[in-house]
Copies of this chain bind each other. A is one copy, B any other.
Amino acid sequence: MGSPKYMQVMEWLQNQCAEMEPHSPIDSEREIAAKLSISRMTVRKAVEELCRQGVLYRDGNRGTFVSALKPEKTPPSQPERRRILFVDSVYDGSNVQEVQKALRLPEHERLFRLVRLVLCQQTPLRVEEIYAAEHDVSDEELGSLDSFCNLEQFRLNGRTSAHLEPMLVPAKYARLLQLRQNVPIIRKDELICRHEGTPYFFVQTYYNPQTSPLSA
């Protein structure tokens, strides 16, 4: 009884769809509502959400159909491990001004930096440089740094904008990523903001291009 009714309807619909051919029509909203003895508006919300997710699609006033999308193969993928390389509780590198500007900080504001390598099995996936305003990082958080820097959490609870930069792998990271010198890679410059829009993290990620770099 925990989940709202429209979510239960979404599940129910997904199970129906799983056994249907792509492009075959599903029941009309009114039929589903009658079948499940619920309001049409509740059915509607479920169908709308599944359309947004790409499971279903609507075709004008002719009906709603099962999509032909492959189910997005979220690779069952081995779990990722992270290895912290550096932690600078007061960071003062060459790109300080660039980062301060990205985070919309005044120049006197001090920066915190964490650099880590992300691996899957033995394979290096990427290097992440994580920047934040020093005063945003509490002492508690410094205690369990790696779980604090669980970026997925922040991305989900906020809003992200990113810029992609093609470049040759920096010498300092070539060995870590097990790449030859001067291999082209993509760096993602990412600003993670709270849901209200104020910046939280600035992240520069250096991807190993040999391990499925990115997708959009």
CA distance A26 to B134 in the complex (A): 32
Tell me which residues across on chain B come within 8 A of A184, comparing CB atoms.
166-168, 184-185
A168-204 Cβ-contact flags toward B at 8 Å (1 or 0): 1000000000000000111000000101111000000
Q: Do A213 and B165 touch across chains, with their CB atoms under 8 A apart?
A: yes
Rounded to whole Å, the gap between the CB of A137 and the closest CB of chain B is: 21
Question: In the complex, A54→B213 CA distance in Å?
Answer: 27
Residues of B within 8 A of A166 (CB): 166, 184-186, 207, 209, 213
Chain A contacts to B: CB under 8 angstroms: 22-23, 54, 57, 59, 65, 67-69, 159, 161-168, 184-186, 193, 195-198, 207, 209, 212-216
Q: 30 A-B contacts, Cβ less than 8 Å apart?
A: A22-B197, A57-B195, A59-B195, A65-B196, A67-B195, A67-B196, A67-B197, A69-B159, A69-B193, A161-B215, A162-B215, A162-B216, A163-B212, A163-B215, A164-B164, A164-B213, A164-B214, A164-B215, A165-B213, A166-B166, A166-B184, A166-B185, A166-B207, A166-B209, A166-B213, A168-B184, A184-B184, A184-B185, A186-B186, A216-B216
